[in-house]
């Protein structure tokens, strides 16, 4: 333990240390001005100190240091805002409320924290001011900078944010690289934290003693996404996503940055159960959002990824009136609300990857009667799900956005998927100064603005949005509940393409990394277990069902072709039955990268659902049913790996059986390698 942390322990929180002129070196150190605050249950403590003009924060958990003294500040275009600081004041505030999610992993969420605001001022130059606000929860910490209005600084041009995260305990990290071409679509690496170069968030850490920490951000609004570069040892530093103009962020004062978040838990499942990211976002700004419908959908989609049909028009065109009508029929017969159709509009015939200038979002191709199909679906209670692939031609898309969304609203296409297919760093932006196009990153300030614009325009027309190749999720669904889901990781599509497909470990890793940020449109449920040219998907049949419970999203696709579902009616029953909106969610057990078991209670019935998946190792997992309502008898419909199930050699070994259980019972889940299990519990 450092001298700094020892001294901090002696302090009462919150406090503002005063400069005392005393002789011994130890006491001199204690005179460093500081302020601190503890979480409501006194589990976490955050301290900010200014030493030699540098502001640093530190996080402790039950007395142990989790984040060692870590620097705060900025490099501005016209001067550094990370030195010559003094503390001019500090204040604390308690907050405790329970709010209701319109849809989500749980209905009621408690937002309980103690807040510390520290006001800093530089002692030199223009005597610039910067506030740091900490919200300390029992399960983590959020902090952000506030640039207050001040003379001589009308606008901040931020060249870099200098926030550090010096992880104190020796840790293993699960991470994906940042600054690479395919955004967030990498397999997670598991390495010592000391070997991470430049990573996206959420990044998940586990210390040798089993403490779990995830670093991410909340409320990424009009700012650049935060990447993390390791500078030395276990010290990470913010590196903001670039902008074409050289600076990272440009904002008029006053403004606040996104929250930098640390979720901290002694069990892996604690990270997943934490609502910290949502709590740090602003409340619902849209009012009544009963028009946002959690639901399941089918698609005119997988056949194109299998390369059996095409987005382009011609003999292989998938999005035809006749073919779509059949999928609508299948959706209606099986209780699906939505049918996603890709390739419905002009623009797919040429080379659209990284080039969206041919896309027209306001009319359909001649062989796709969008008016008739919408009306046909409406009669059957099925809504078309819209699709806008932009090919990263952002201004071209924004020019059409209003008219495109008006069309959807008029036709009852009340949700749509967007797409941003191009290499990262190659997003097109019209040059405000004329001249050649500018190139942006998928999570720079420009795209943060773009995504929010689409979400707001959609909300004005009561439409829900699901971006692929998106900016990362930072919990903005709380403020804009029509931002229902997104991709933002390697999804099922990689299993169609192969080379290589997603190994079983990937979906377990997602739960403890990507999913901490929010819902994912992973598109599970490929019961054929086959990608392109018959290539095997690394999964057992039961596992495909478990994914609906394990990978949360309020919109869930049944990604496979209708004819494949007809070949697996037993398993398909679970996809038809599984809920998508939850009263409660709990992680019963799990380890990052190894396995996970999650249970969720349906918001619209008393049913519970269980999903469990493992990596490439088979597992026997005892599960207590104590989460069920006491004294109630349930029918448990169990969809499990059959004897000898193995994703490599025997993926279709599958069993469906029914038992009667109560909360006093326990079950033993037997998962094959790459396997899973799904259970529906219905009160009798
Ligand atoms: C990538 C998306 O993830 C996928 O779902 C979509 O089909 C293609 N882009 C085409 O837009
Ligand atoms: Ca994608």
CATH classification at residue 101: 2.70.98.10
Per-residue H/E/C for 281-348 = CCCCCCCCCCCCCCEEEEEECHHHHCCCCECCCCCCECCCHHHHHHHHHHHHHHCCCEEEECCCCCCC
Residues 447/460, Cβ–Cβ less than 8 Å: no
314 and 202 both lie in a single domain: no
Give 550 Cα–ligand 1 centroid separation in angstroms.
22
Q: What is the mean pLDDT of the chain?
A: 95
Q: Is residue 522 part of a domain?
A: no
258-267 confidence digits (pLDDT tens): 999 999 999 9
241 and 379 both lie in a single domain: no
3-state class of 654 per DSSP? Answer: strand
212 and 265 both lie in a single domain: yes
Nearest to 613 by CA among 538, 557, 554: 538
Mutate to test the pocket of ligand 1, among 356, 419, 423 (most ligand atoms within 8 A of CB): 419
Mutate to test the pocket of ligand 1, among 342, 489, 559 (most ligand atoms within 8 A of CB): 342
335 and 367 both lie in a single domain: yes
Mutate to test the pocket of ligand 1, among 355, 468, 524 (most ligand atoms within 8 A of CB): 468
Give 166 Cα–ligand 1 centroid separation in angstroms.
38
98 and 238 both lie in a single domain: yes
304-353 confidence digits (pLDDT tens): 999 999 999 999 999 999 999 999 999 999 999 999 999 999 999 999 99
Order of strands, edge to edge, in the sheet holding 383-389? 464-467, 415-419, 383-389, 338-341, 295-300, 555-557
- Tokens 């989500």 belong to 104
Q: Is the C-beta atom of 444 inside 6 A of ligand 1? A: no
Query: Which DSSP symbol is given to 514?
Result: G
> Does residue 28 carry a pLDDT above 60?
no
- Count of domains for the chain: 3
Q: Is the C-beta atom of 131 inside 6 A of ligand 1? A: no
Provide the annotated active-site residues. Answer: 493
Q: What residue's CA is closest to ligand 1, atom 2? A: 468
Point out the ligand 1 atom lying closest to the alpha carbon of residue 523.
5
Nearest ligand to the CA atom of 389: 1
State pTM to two decimals: 0.95
Q: Is the C-beta atom of 487 inside 6 A of ligand 1? A: yes
Give 587 Cα–ligand 2 centroid separation in angstroms.
27
> Does residue 138 carry a pLDDT above 80?
yes
Give 491 Cα–ligand 1 centroid separation in angstroms.
10
Residues 346/387, Cβ–Cβ less than 8 Å: no
Nearest ligand to the CA atom of 183: 2
484 and 604 both lie in a single domain: no
Q: What is the pLDDT of residue 29?
A: 39
End residue of a domain, out of 259, 280, 301 = 280
Give 425 Cα–ligand 2 centroid separation in angstroms.
16
**Residues of the chain by 3-state class (helix, strand, coil), percent to 5:** 20, 35, 45
Q: Is the C-beta atom of 105 inside 6 A of ligand 1? A: no
Residues, the chain: 684
318 and 456 both lie in a single domain: yes
Q: Is residue 559 part of a domain?
A: no
What percent of the chain clears pLDDT 70, i.e. is strictly above it? 95
For residues 567, 570, 571, 576, the Cα torsion angle rounded to the nearest 10 degrees is 100
Q: Is residue 657 part of a domain?
A: yes
Which CATH number goes with the domain that contains 658?
A: 2.60.40.1180
> Does residue 26 carry a pLDDT above 70?
no
For residues 135, 138, 141, 143, the Cα torsion angle rounded to the nearest 10 degrees is 0
End residue of a domain, out of 262, 280, 298 = 280
Query: Which DSSP symbol is given to 561?
Result: -
Nearest to 29 by CA among 4, 57, 65: 4
Give 472 Cα–ligand 2 centroid separation in angstroms.
13
Q: Is the C-beta atom of 185 inside 6 A of ligand 1? A: no
311-322 confidence digits (pLDDT tens): 999 999 999 999
> Does residue 8 carry a pLDDT above 90?
no
Give 187 Cα–ligand 1 centroid separation in angstroms.
18
Q: How many CA atoms lie within 13 A of 74 on its CB side?
A: 26
Give 601 Cα–ligand 2 centroid separation in angstroms.
30
Q: Is the C-beta atom of 493 inside 6 A of ligand 1? A: yes
Q: What is the pLDDT of residue 498?
A: 87
Q: What residue's CA is closest to ligand 1, atom 8? A: 419
Q: What is the pLDDT of residue 31?
A: 66
Point out the ligand 1 atom lying closest to the alpha carbon of residue 387.
11
Point out the ligand 1 atom lying closest to the alpha carbon of residue 469.
3
pLDDT interval class at 18 (50, 70, 90): very low
Q: Is residue 82 part of a domain?
A: yes
Q: Is residue 466 part of a domain?
A: yes
Which CATH number goes with the domain that contains 476?
A: 3.20.20.70
> Does residue 1 carry a pLDDT above 60?
no
359-387 confidence digits (pLDDT tens): 999 999 999 999 999 999 999 999 999 99
Point out the ligand 1 atom lying closest to the alpha carbon of residue 305.
7
Nearest ligand to the CA atom of 342: 1
Q: Is the C-beta atom of 421 inside 6 A of ligand 1? A: yes
Q: Which residue segment(s) compose the domain that 145 sits in?
A: 34-280
Give 470 Cα–ligand 2 centroid separation in angstroms.
9
124 and 225 both lie in a single domain: yes
240 and 343 both lie in a single domain: no
483 and 496 both lie in a single domain: no
pLDDT interval class at 11 (50, 70, 90): very low
> Does residue 590 carry a pLDDT above 50?
yes
Q: Is residue 676 part of a domain?
A: yes
End residue of a domain, out of 255, 280, 305 = 280
Point out the ligand 1 atom lying closest to the alpha carbon of residue 311.
10
Q: Is residue 556 part of a domain?
A: no
Point out the ligand 1 atom lying closest to the alpha carbon of residue 487.
3
The pair of structure tokens assigned to 616 is 């490439």
Q: Is the C-beta atom of 419 inside 6 A of ligand 1? A: yes
Report DSSP letters for 154-223, one per residue.
SEEEEEEE--EEEE-S-EEEEE-BSSSTTTT-SPPEEEEGGG--EE-SSEEEEETT--EEEEEEE---SS
289 and 270 both lie in a single domain: no
> Does residue 605 carry a pLDDT above 60?
yes
Mutate to test the pocket of ligand 1, among 308, 388, 421 (most ligand atoms within 8 A of CB): 421
Q: Is the C-beta atom of 409 inside 6 A of ligand 1? A: no
194 and 226 both lie in a single domain: yes
41-98 confidence digits (pLDDT tens): 999 999 999 999 999 999 999 999 999 999 999 999 999 999 999 999 999 999 999 9
For 598-621, give one letter per residue: b (16+ CB within 10 A) or e: bbbbbbeeebbbbbbbbbbebbeb
Q: Is residue 25 part of a domain?
A: no
């Amino acid at each position: 333990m450092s001298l700094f942390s020892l001294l901090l322990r002696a302090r009462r929180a919150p406090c503002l240390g005063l400069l005392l002129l005393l002789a011994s070196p130890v006491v001199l150190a204690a005179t460093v001005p500081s302020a601190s605050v503890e979480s409501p249950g006194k589990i976490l403590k955050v301290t900010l100190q200014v030493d030699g003009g540098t502001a640093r924060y530190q996080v402790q958990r039950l007395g142990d240091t989790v984040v060692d003294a870590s620097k705060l500040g900025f490099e501005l275009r016209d001067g550094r805002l990370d030195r010559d600081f003094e503390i001019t004041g500090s204040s604390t505030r308690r907050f405790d409320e329970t709010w209701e999610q319109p849809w989500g992993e749980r209905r009621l969420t408690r937002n309980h924290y103690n807040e510390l605001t520290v006001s800093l001022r530089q002692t030199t130059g223009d005597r610039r001011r910067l506030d740091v606000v900490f919200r300390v929860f029992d399960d983590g910490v959020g902090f952000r900078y506030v640039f207050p209005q001040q003379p001589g600084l009308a606008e901040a041009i931020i060249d870099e944010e200098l926030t550090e995260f010096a992880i104190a305990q020796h840790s293993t990290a699960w991470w994906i690289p940042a600054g690479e071409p395919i955004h967030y679509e990498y397999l997670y690496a598991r390495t010592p934290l000391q070997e991470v170069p430049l990573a996206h968030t959420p990044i998940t850490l586990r210390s040798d003693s089993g403490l779990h920490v995830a670093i991410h951000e909340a409320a990424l609004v009009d700012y650049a996404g935060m990447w993390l570069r390791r500078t030395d040892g276990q010290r990470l530093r913010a590196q903001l996503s670039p902008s074409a103009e050289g600076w990272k962020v440009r904002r008029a004062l006053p403004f606040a940055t996104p929250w930098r978040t640390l979720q901290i838990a002694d069990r892996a499942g604690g990270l997943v159960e934490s609502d910290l990211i949502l709590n740090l976002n602003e409340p619902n700004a849209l009012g009544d959002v009963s028009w946002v419908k959690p639901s399941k959908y089918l698609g005119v989609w997988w056949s194109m990824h299998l390369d059996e049909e095409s987005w382009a028009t011609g003999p292989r065109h998938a999005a035809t009136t006749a073919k779509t009508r059949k999928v609508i029929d299948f959706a209606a017969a099986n209780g699906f609300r939505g049918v996603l159709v890709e390739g419905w509009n002009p623009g797919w015939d040429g080379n659209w990857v990284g080039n969206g200038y041919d896309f027209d979002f306001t009319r359909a191709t001649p062989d796709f009667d969008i008016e008739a199909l919408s009306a046909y679906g409406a009669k059957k209670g099925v809504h078309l799900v819209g699709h806008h692939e932009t090919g990263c031609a952002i201004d071209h898309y924004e020019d059409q956005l209003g008219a495109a969304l008006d069309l959807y609203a008029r036709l009852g296409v009340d949700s749509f998927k967007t797409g941003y297919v191009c290499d990262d760093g190659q997003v097109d932006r019209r040059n405000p100064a004329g001249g050649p196009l500018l190139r942006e990153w998928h999570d720079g300030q420009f795209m943060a603005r773009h995504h929010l614009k689409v979400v707001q325009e959609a909300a004005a027309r009561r439409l829900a949005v699901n971006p692929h190749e998106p900016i990362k999720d930072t919990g903005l669904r709380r403020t804009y509940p029509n931002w229902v889901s997104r991709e933002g990781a390697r999804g099922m599509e990689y299993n169609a393409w192969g080379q290589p497909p997603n190994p079983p470990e990937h979906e377990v890793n997602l739960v403890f990394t990507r999913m901490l940020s929010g819902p994912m449109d992973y598109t599970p449920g490929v019961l054929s277990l086959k990608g392109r040219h018959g290539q095997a998907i690394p999964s057992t049949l039961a596992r495909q069902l478990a994914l609906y419970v394990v990978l949360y999203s309020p919109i869930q696709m049944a990604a496979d072709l209708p004819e494949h579902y007809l070949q697996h009616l037993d398993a398909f029953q679970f996809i038809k039955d599984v809920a998508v909106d939850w009263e409660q969610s709990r992680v019963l057990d799990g380890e990052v990268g190894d396995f996970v078991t999650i249970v969720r209670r349906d918001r619209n019935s008393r049913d519970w659902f269980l999903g469990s998946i493992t990596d490439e190792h088979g597992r026997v997992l005892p599960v207590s049913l104590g989460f069920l309502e006491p004294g109630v008898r349930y029918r448990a419909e169990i969809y499990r790996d059959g004897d000898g199930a193995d994703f490599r050699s025997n993926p279709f070994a599958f069993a469906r059986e029914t038992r009667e259980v109560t909360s006093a019972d326990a079950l033993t889940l037997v998962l094959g390698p790459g396997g899973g299990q799904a259970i529906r519990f219905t009160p009798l």
